[in-house]
Structure formats: C-alpha cells, structure tokens
Structure 1
Amino acid sequence: MSPIHIALVGVGKIARDQHLPSIEKTPDFKLIAAASRHGTVDDIPNYKSIEDMLEAVPEIEAVSLCMPPQHRYEAAHKALSAGKHVFLEKPPGATLSEVEDLQALAAEKGLSLFASWHSRYAPAVEAAKTFLASTTMRSMKVIWKEDVRHWHPNQEWIWQAGGLGVFDPGINALSIVTHILPRPVFITKATLEFPENRDAPIAADIKFTDAAGLDLSAEFDWRQTGKQSWDIIAETDAGRMVLSEGGAKLSVDGTLKHDEPEQEYPMLYRRFAEIIKAGRSDVDIAPLRHVADAFMLGRRKFVDAFYD
C-alpha cells in the first residue's frame, strides 16, 4: 500500500522536535507539503496559509495541525471540508464545543479525526493501567511541575485566553490519569493561580473523586526550577505505584517494573494511520473536559506578575 500523503500546518518547535522526525520514521506517511506563517520545511513546497496549500496540492490526503489551540478549529474545519483526514496536536481545541463540531463534520464526511494525547503513549502508561486494574486503589496524587521558561520561552500564546497556561502541560497528566483509572473521575474543588499580568493560570491545585469516593489530587505548577516533576503516585492494596518522568518509568514499592525508550510521537502517527485505514476517528475529550471543569469550578487567586 502506498504511503498516505500528509501535510503539516504550523512549523514551530513542537513540529520540528517531534512531528517531522516522527513522520519521517513512519512508512505509512509521506510528507508532501507544509504551511506556516513563519517556518518552512526543506525539500517540500511551503505555503503561508492552509488555504493556499490545499488549493495548490490537491493530492494531500491528511493534515497534521500543530498551531496553538486558539487557531486550530478554523484550520481543521477547512481541512475536513476539503476531504482530508486530520491529526490534532493536544489539546484538540480551545473549547469542547468546537471539538465536538469537528467530530460531527468528520463523521459526515467519512473522514478520520484524531485527537492526539502523546503522554498516553509514554512507555510505562499501559503497564500502570494494567497494574491498577489488578488491585484496589486507595488514593492518587499527581505532581506535574516544570519550568515554563525552559519549555515555552517567550511563547505569548500560552498566556492568552485559550492558551491554557499551566494546563498546557497539566493536560498531559490528565490524559494519562483518564486513561489508567478504572473509573471516571470528576472535579470537586480547584484553585487556579493567575499572574496579575496574564490571562491564563501559572499553577493549579485540584481535587477529584469518583463514584466510589476516590481521593485524587493534582498539583500543577509552572514555576519549578531544577529537577522537573512529572509523577503520578497511587496508594493501592498491592503497594505504592509511582509512574514517573511523565509516564516513562513505573515502580511499585521502590522496585522498578517498567523502563523503556520513549516513542510517543511515532506511536501517535502509527495510530493515526491505523484509524485512517480502519475508516474511523479517535476523539477522546475527557482530558479537555477536566480542564474546562477546573476553569468552571475553580477559585481564582491572583499572584505576582510573571515575565519571561
């Protein structure tokens, strides 16, 4: 079977670090065009807008969208309307409503829409899910703290309304939690810390529970310096489970159980090819729903101004 002709929209840091190398490694795809206001990709046609690209390169079969979430709906709608399968970088949109609208459009057109959650493909995530399914969980704590100046230097869009702020990394934790837990959870309380000069939060403290009364808490913070923290800790009848380094390692009672090389984005593209061939979509909005709930239920606390 010949490779699927794919185009990339939004040639920024995440596209260069993850998408371009992953597409190159995935034989199911061939990159044939790119569109970006500022960046270009060598050895293929480049355009300033998705409209120009779709008009000039009709043989495009799928489009991968890597621009900020505030602008993703319009591009996705144009691609689906033009008959292209669509890969959405996380989060899949700025609102739940627009993602649901895209899902309906994809179904109407008979196209595949993929809401990608790369952290779910971290090496030890499936092992953690299997472990939790085999025991009774008493509590869970999520600690997701990193240095925004290191990971998002001078990226103003993340501080704008719809840019999610600390939920940009925090939603990665939520994508793992919603995948590995045996039952759905819901937010009961949240405090969101907003720098006085920003429209998006820099930290969040969230409490969750489920129908059985699970004690689940999450701490997100973008002011971490030194060692970064991406840990999910569960107290269970079978011992203390620690899913660390963003899902890369799993240990139980201090014994390492799972540690393999990271292949998150190549696995995302393999999944995208799989759903295209199967003629279906993969759109789970549970992580984004939790973010929306946190904004709806959360108490806002204003803190010192933040400057890059």
Structure 2
Amino acid sequence: MAATKIAVVGIGKIARDQHLPAIARSGAFELAAAISRNERVEGVENFTDIQAFLRNRPDVAAVSLCAPPRPRLQMAVSALEAGRHVLLEKPPGATVGEVEALVALARKKGVVLFATWHSRFASCVEPARRWLSGKTIRHVEIVWKEDVRRWHPGQAWIWEAGGFGVFDPGINALSILTAIAPPVFVTDATLEVPENCQTPIAAQLTMRGVTGFEVTADFDWRQEGPQTWEIRVDTDAGLLVLADGGSRMSIDGEQRPGGLEAEYDGIYARFAGLLASGESDVDLAPLKLVSDAFMIGRTVDVDAFHD
C-alpha cells in the first residue's frame, strides 16, 4: 500500500524533535510539504501559509498540525473544509468547545480527526492500565515538575491567554490518568500565575474519582536539575508507580518491563490505523480537567517570570 502524503504545519521544536523523525521512520506516511512562516524543511515543498498549501497540493491527503493551540483552530477548519485528514498535536485546542466543533466538521466532511495525547503512547502506560483493571484504587498522587526554560525556550505564547502555562506539560499527566483510571473530576485548584504572565507557572489540583478515590496533582515549571514526571497509584493490590512520564513502571518497588520508547511512532501508527478504518479519535477528558481547573481554581500571584 502506498504511503499517505502528509504535511506538517508549524515547524517548531516539537515538530523537529518528534513529528518529522517519526514520519521519516514510518512506512505509512511520506512527508510531502511543510508550512511555517519562518522555518523550512529541506527536501519537501515549503509554504508560508496553509491556504497556499491547500490550493496547490490537493494530492496531500493528511495534515499534522503542530502550531500553538490558539492559531491552530482556523488552520484545522481550513484543512477539514478542504477534505484533508487532520492530526492535532496536544492539547487539541484552546477550548473544549472549539474541538467539539472540529469533531462535528470532520464528521460532516467525511474525514478523520485525531486528537493526540503522546504520553498515552509511553511504553508502560498500557501495561499499567491492564494491571489496574479490576483493582480498587484508593489514592493517586501526581508530581509533574520540570524546567520551562529547558523545554520551551523563548516561547512567549505559553504565557498568553490560551497558552496553558504549566498545564502544557501537566496535561500529559492528566492524559495518562484518564487512560488508566476511572473517570475523575476536579474538586479544587490553586493556580500560581507570575505577575507578568496570563497563565500559571505552577498549579495544585485535587480531583475525585467517580468510585470515590482522591487524586492530588502538583504541577510546577520551576524545577531545575532532574525532572520529575511521576504518577503513584495506591490500590488494594499494591502500589503502582509510573515514572519518567510513563516509560518506567514498578509494583511495590519491583520494576516491571516496558516496551521501546517511541511515543510519536505510536501516534503515527495509530493515525495510519484510523485512516484505514475511516474513524476519528478525539478524547477530550484531559482537556476538560484543565478547563475545569481554570474555571474553579483560585489564582495566586507569584514573582514575575523572565526567560
């Protein structure tokens, strides 16, 4: 079967670090074009706006949208209206409502929409889900702390309204939580917002599962040195710990084997499967938790942030 031609929109750090290499390794896709105002990708046709791409490359069936959430909406609408299949980098949109509108548009146009959550493809997430199946969860603790200067150098959009702030990485933890545990809802939140920003640099959430267990989450973008991406799940059968963003798992301190670390390879394999079946995949559970945290959270002013 011939590879599906795909274009990448938004040639920033995540596209160069993850999407372009994953596409190159995939036998299911062929990179045919790149769309960016300031960057170019060697070996393919480059465009500075998506409208020019859509007019001139009707042969490219799929689009991978890696631009920030706020400007991504109109790009997604344009691509779907043009009958292209669309992959959305996480978070899938700035609001729940706009993503729901994209789902309806994709259905109307008969094309595939895939809202990706790359952390769900970490090697130990699925083994953790299987181990937790049928067990009683007593408590979940999430600690997700990293250095924003290392992972988002010079990216001003993350501090603007709609940029998510610390929830940009924090939503990765929530995507794992909603994949391995019963549904949860936010009961309390504190958002620490630098005085010169519009989005939080740290957040503390309390959530409750529909079966009664409590979840605490501590997100912080100010951690230097070793980074912490850990989820601890206390159950009636022992303590499960997912570490390093879901790439390592232990049960009561005993390390369990995982698979190869290739989150974005898994994303593009899933996208290929969706194209083959003609189905969309849009799970809004992690985005709804972030939205609810903003809705009920208390805002605390903290020192200004300077990159």
TM range (shorter): over 0.9
Give the equivalent residue in structure 1 for 2:229. 230
Equivalent positions of 1:209-220 (< 5 A) are: 209-220=208-219
Please state whether the residue corresponding to 2:44 is helix, strand or coil: coil
8 Å contact 1:114–1:281 — kept in the other structure?
A: yes
Distance 1:48 1:225 in 2: 36
Give the equivalent residue in structure 1 for 2:41. 41
Please state whether the residue corresponding to 2:183 is helix, strand or coil: coil
CA deviation vs aligned residue, 1:114-170 (integer Å, no higher than 9, x gap): 000000000000111111114221101000000001111111011010000000000
Give the equivalent residue in structure 2 for 1:76. 76
Equivalent positions of 1:1-308 (< 5 A) are: 1-181=1-181, 183-308=182-307
Cα deviation, residue 261, structure 1: 2.6
8 Å contact 2:76–2:102 — kept in the other structure?
A: yes
Matched positions, count: 307
CA deviation vs aligned residue, 1:192-231 (integer Å, no higher than 9, x gap): 0000100000000000012322111100000011110000
* Higher deviation after alignment, 261-270 or 113-122: 261-270
CA deviation vs aligned residue, 1:21-79 (integer Å, no higher than 9, x gap): 10011111111111101111111110100001111111110000000011111000000
Distance 2:101 2:254 in 1: 45
Cα deviation, residue 238, structure 1: 1.5
Please state whether the residue corresponding to 2:245 is helix, strand or coil: coil
Distance 2:153 2:31 in 1: 28
8 Å contact 2:8–2:66 — kept in the other structure?
A: yes
Cα deviation, residue 14, structure 1: 0.6
The letter of the residue matching 1:57 is R
8 Å contact 2:122–2:246 — kept in the other structure?
A: yes
Distance 1:64 1:110 in 2: 17
Please state whether the residue corresponding to 1:90 is helix, strand or coil: coil
8 Å contact 1:249–1:260 — kept in the other structure?
A: no
The letter of the residue matching 2:209 is D
Distance 1:211 1:90 in 2: 25
CA deviation vs aligned residue, 1:260-308 (integer Å, no higher than 9, x gap): 3311001100101111110110000110000000000100111111101
The letter of the residue matching 2:25 is K
Percent of paired sites with the same residue: 54
Distance 1:111 1:19 in 2: 21
CA deviation vs aligned residue, 1:80-109 (integer Å, no higher than 9, x gap): 000100000000001111100110000001
The letter of the residue matching 2:279 is R
8 Å contact 2:87–2:271 — kept in the other structure?
A: yes
What is the root-mean-square deviation of aligned Cα atoms in Å? 0.8
8 Å contact 2:127–2:258 — kept in the other structure?
A: no
The letter of the residue matching 1:143 is V
Distance 2:211 2:11 in 1: 45
* Higher deviation after alignment, 51-60 or 103-112: 51-60
Distance 1:212 1:41 in 2: 49
Please state whether the residue corresponding to 2:207 is helix, strand or coil: strand
The letter of the residue matching 2:130 is T
The letter of the residue matching 2:192 is E
Please give the TM-score of this superposition, normalised by the length of structure 1: 0.98
Please state whether the residue corresponding to 1:193 is helix, strand or coil: strand
The letter of the residue matching 1:192 is L
Distance 1:302 1:158 in 2: 17
Please give the TM-score of this superposition, normalised by the length of structure 2: 0.99
Unaligned runs of 5+ in 2: none
Please state whether the residue corresponding to 2:301 is helix, strand or coil: strand
